Structure 1
Amino acid sequence: MGTLPQTKIDYSIHPRVNSTDPVAPRPRPTTPAHIVKSDAEAIEIAERLAEKFKVGAALRDREGLLPIAELDEYSQSGLWSINVPKAYGGPGVSYATLAKVIETIAAADPAIAQITQNHLAIVGTIDLDGTDEQKRDLFALALSGIRFGNAFSELKSKNVAAFETHVVFDGDQAVVNGEKFYTTGALLAHVVPIVAVTEDGQAYLVFADRDAQGLTVTNNWSSFGQRTTASGGVRIDSVRVPKARALHVTSFEHPTVAGPVSQIIQSAIDLGIARGAIEDTIAFIKTQSRPWIDSGKETAGEDLFTIAAIGDLEIKLHAAEALLEIAGRAIDVAEADPNEATVAEATIKTAESKVLTTEIAILATNKLFELAGTRSTLAEHGLDRHWRNARVHTLHDPVRWKFYHVGNYYLNGVNPPRHAWN
């Protein structure tokens, strides 16, 4: 806690967010990534990395510095392949463990955690929709330390599921044309999976190398929150990819865990934002806040109303934490035995989790300033990043629809729809 670290950075060479300067594709790792051996090891690695990532989080946010060195260490740690199935050489950890890993990283720096989101969701999609040959090929890349970005959402289409990016097949090649936005992870990825549809509406995930001819990644993410995710745009001009790396996506046409897997990662990020904000609130109150004059107390931490408010935040944080784990276990069950009942249960539990993590993220980041006092808003502390990150990231998949689907499930027995945002 305290003022921003005065780390010296050569801004003339360090890539920054929302810049017109080109960012060269990241070199592929020269040594294989670590392979995680167990759920416990995954959490231990996440905790160790989080301690390091937290140190520069406020500085990176303030200066708009892309977390390049941090990402390299993160993907080499083995945490980017923890949901590769054991049958293909991965650890195949519980989705409750995966959520805990993401929450831990997000509490330190939610931008770094969000960059992982699409990669892990794509690993899950490979498992659900890939042929055996594609699984062996693409899982091997993930296990070696290759990072998948994403070219999924589109800025100008009618809604999030109306894709205008198209793929045609020319012999043994897939040819893709289109434009994407909100492409978190693409800028610093080694491979950019592109969602595209055929003329008759079939969906494909086309894995293009980051330096493929015709693929242009734009560093133009200008949001006030989650600034250093570099979630800009991707332009795809007749990008050619081997047909073997065009994965036909059918996982939403029948019961699978595709939706809940994507959603639980989002929920874990929000929970991490809340945890980080509460930790900083407590630290600030203990070290820098003054007691309110009417309290009659010597320190801010003795204020009765402040004590009660911290208690309320911790209780709601722990409730969200518990439901996140319940959702992860429900996904594990549905993954092992996918059917209408198990997938609906996993989807609903994950939706419930996302409601609570959204609420605690917004509440905690608001309460930070109320409880810590006016001096906590000074730029030197960089605490405004918590509210900005929470406000922006919780816009992903609006929870107002989660309430509806959860209520309809319990009241009327109606299973929630299956798509990537549910």
Structure 2
Amino acid sequence: MTFDLSVETLDHAPTQALPRELRTPLTLDLITNDAEALATARRLATTFAPEAALRDRERRLPWAELDAFVASGLWGITVPREFGGAGVRNGTLAEVTAIIAAADGSLGQIPQNHFYALEVLRVGGSLEQQRFFYQRVLAGERFGNALAEISHKDFKRRTRLTRGADGWHIDGRKFYCTGALYAHWIPTLVVAEEQGRDVTYLAFVPRDTPGVTVTDDWDGFGQRVTGSGSVQFEQVRVEPEWVVPFQVSFEHATTIGPLAQIIHAAIDLGQARGAFEAALQFVRERSRPWIDAKVELAADDPLTIAQFGDLAARLRAAEALLRRAGRFVDAAQAAPTDRSVAEASVAVAEARTLTTTVSLDAGSRLFELAGAAATLDGLGLDRFWRNARTHTLHDPVRWKYHAVGNFYLNDKLPPRHGAL
């Protein structure tokens, strides 16, 4: 199954030609358990890391790396076991994400919405939809996203699904469409009028459908090759069996929000790990000690040692909270209730408070500890802070503290809008 990838590019986009066809891997590994998933992620990370700075600096889209990523079987690890997947625990999914993000922050983020769409299918898809799309994923096809809309101060969604005698069609424009550039399918958040009110759906749109235009116009200073540009839909035909109910995520307790958010936390944790390891290597191999330390090696500077100790302790704390959050999401998936889903959301929010702050701090303190030589542009060490700063703006950490505090102090359950 192939798709035409006719992508508009802007002047700032890469100069290399984009592939005309998006193929599935010729061979695809099948991961069967959590241990295999983690081992595969560690292996891939060692191959992704060496050119991460070059991809960032040249904005080189990671086609080959994504093909290897998908061929490894990692994009299918949340497919339930009864459908042929590994059905890994959420803590494993988070750790796999963190491992890849430590090597390359953009590669760690690209599949986030792929896993999000798989959770929407698990929660709200029919048995036939689950069978169809799970098999597509296990065959090597990947999902992007077209969820967010900009240019309006309100959060009203304007991308619409209309049903007529000549079929179902989608019209609208989306932005922040991470992964859509690389996707076989673009899960698209749409609204349809039903009995006088707007009802929300997630429509899975094949990338090559006439009327779909993906524009490579993401030019943020971080996460440069995530493909987070825009998608335009103009009278795009969609089959009814590709449209999954999504209203349930707002009206009933589901784990769609916590699942999405634990992956975001893992991306930030990976960014922190990457910055921390880069700082360790630079200080050991290249930094000079401050004259007042009266030591021969920068690694023997007592104040530098203390700073690394502080960062390490907060990294370990963030990792522990992320693992804990994974257990809460597992429990909520097994028995979703208002309370269990709220507890999962709060546990993930707690993790995100630490993963956000430590990723930003590690990216900044890298330079304080490594010294001026670390700022040389060719090294690309600034990408850790830029990536963390860009990704942590996905939703504001100040509201994570509010959700956690309101839960413990006033027993208020977090809102159901997908941001927790």
- Alpha-carbon contact 2:214-2:229 (below 8 Å) kept: yes
Aligned-pair distance for 1:67? 0.5
**TM-score, scaled relative to structure 2:** 0.94
2:3 aligns to what? Answer: none
Kindly provide the CA deviation profile for residues 57-112 of structure 1, in whole angstroms up to 9, marking residues without a partner as x. Answer: 00000111000000011011111111111121111100000000000000000101
Following superposition of structure 1 onto structure 2, how do residues 391-406 of structure 1 map, counting pairs within 5 Å?
A: 391-406=389-404
Structure 2 unmatched runs, 5+: 1-8
- Alpha-carbon contact 1:194-1:205 (below 8 Å) kept: yes
Kindly provide the CA deviation profile for residues 143-193 of structure 1, in whole angstroms up to 9, marking residues without a partner as x. Answer: 11101011110112334x421100012358420000000000000111111
Aligned-pair distance for 1:25? 5.6
Aligned-pair distance for 1:248? 1.4
Following superposition of structure 1 onto structure 2, how do residues 277-296 of structure 1 map, counting pairs within 5 Å?
A: 277-296=275-294
Find the aligned partners of 1:339 and 1:18 in 2 and give their Cα distance.
46
Following superposition of structure 1 onto structure 2, how do residues 131-280 of structure 1 map, counting pairs within 5 Å?
A: 131-159=126-154, 161-171=155-165, 173-199=167-193, 200-249=197-246, 250-280=248-278
- Give, as a single letter, the amino acid of the residue that structure 2 aligns with 1:122: A
Structure 1 unmatched runs, 5+: 1-13
2:363 aligns to what? Answer: 365
2:383 aligns to what? Answer: 385
- Give, as a single letter, the amino acid of the residue that structure 2 aligns with 1:234: V
Find the aligned partners of 1:246 and 1:16 in 2 and give their Cα distance.
35
- Alpha-carbon contact 1:331-1:343 (below 8 Å) kept: yes
Relative distance call for 1:243 and 1:95 in structure 2 (3 A) is same
- Alpha-carbon contact 1:26-1:190 (below 8 Å) kept: no
Find the aligned partners of 1:296 and 1:27 in 2 and give their Cα distance.
58
Higher alpha-carbon deviation: 24-33 or 34-43: 24-33
**TM-score, scaled relative to structure 1:** 0.94
Matched, 1:55 2:50: yes
Kindly provide the CA deviation profile for residues 108-154 of structure 1, in whole angstroms up to 9, marking residues without a partner as x. Answer: 00101110100011101110010111111111111111010111101
SS of 1:193 mapped into structure 2: strand
CA RMSD of aligned residues (A): 1.7
Q: Decide which of 31, 47, 59 is 1:36's aligned counterpart.
A: 31
Q: Decide which of 72, 75, 78 is 1:77's aligned counterpart.
A: 72
- Alpha-carbon contact 2:257-2:345 (below 8 Å) kept: yes
2:120 aligns to what? Answer: 125
Matched, 1:332 2:324: no
- Give, as a single letter, the amino acid of the residue that structure 2 aligns with 1:96: G
Relative distance call for 1:171 and 1:47 in structure 2 (3 A) is farther
Find the aligned partners of 1:334 and 1:342 in 2 and give their Cα distance.
5
SS of 2:250 mapped into structure 1: coil
Q: Decide which of 103, 107, 118 is 1:112's aligned counterpart.
A: 107
Higher alpha-carbon deviation: 283-292 or 194-203: 194-203
SS of 1:322 mapped into structure 2: helix
- Alpha-carbon contact 2:256-2:418 (below 8 Å) kept: yes
SS of 1:383 mapped into structure 2: coil
Relative distance call for 1:129 and 1:172 in structure 2 (3 A) is farther
1:103 aligns to what? Answer: 98
Relative distance call for 1:17 and 1:70 in structure 2 (3 A) is farther
1:93 aligns to what? Answer: 88
Relative distance call for 1:114 and 1:415 in structure 2 (3 A) is same
Matched, 1:414 2:412: yes
1:68 aligns to what? Answer: 63
Aligned-pair distance for 1:201? 1.1
Kindly provide the CA deviation profile for residues 320-346 of structure 1, in whole angstroms up to 9, marking residues without a partner as x. Answer: 000000000100000000001110110
Higher alpha-carbon deviation: 23-32 or 269-278: 23-32
Aligned residues: 408
- Give, as a single letter, the amino acid of the residue that structure 1 aligns with 2:153: K
- Alpha-carbon contact 2:14-2:60 (below 8 Å) kept: no
- Give, as a single letter, the amino acid of the residue that structure 2 aligns with 1:394: T
SS of 2:22 mapped into structure 1: coil
2:6 aligns to what? Answer: none
SS of 1:202 mapped into structure 2: strand
1:320 aligns to what? Answer: 318
- Give, as a single letter, the amino acid of the residue that structure 2 aligns with 1:185: G
- Give, as a single letter, the amino acid of the residue that structure 2 aligns with 1:230: G
Find the aligned partners of 1:174 and 1:311 in 2 and give their Cα distance.
58
Find the aligned partners of 1:390 and 1:235 in 2 and give their Cα distance.
28
Find the aligned partners of 1:30 and 1:279 in 2 and give their Cα distance.
32
- Alpha-carbon contact 1:225-1:390 (below 8 Å) kept: yes
Kindly provide the CA deviation profile for residues 295-343 of structure 1, in whole angstroms up to 9, marking residues without a partner as x. Answer: 1010100000000000000000000000000000100000000001110
Kindly provide the CA deviation profile for residues 31-68 of structure 1, in whole angstroms up to 9, marking residues without a partner as x. Answer: 35322110000000000000000011000001110000
Find the aligned partners of 2:121 and 2:15 in 1 and give their Cα distance.
33
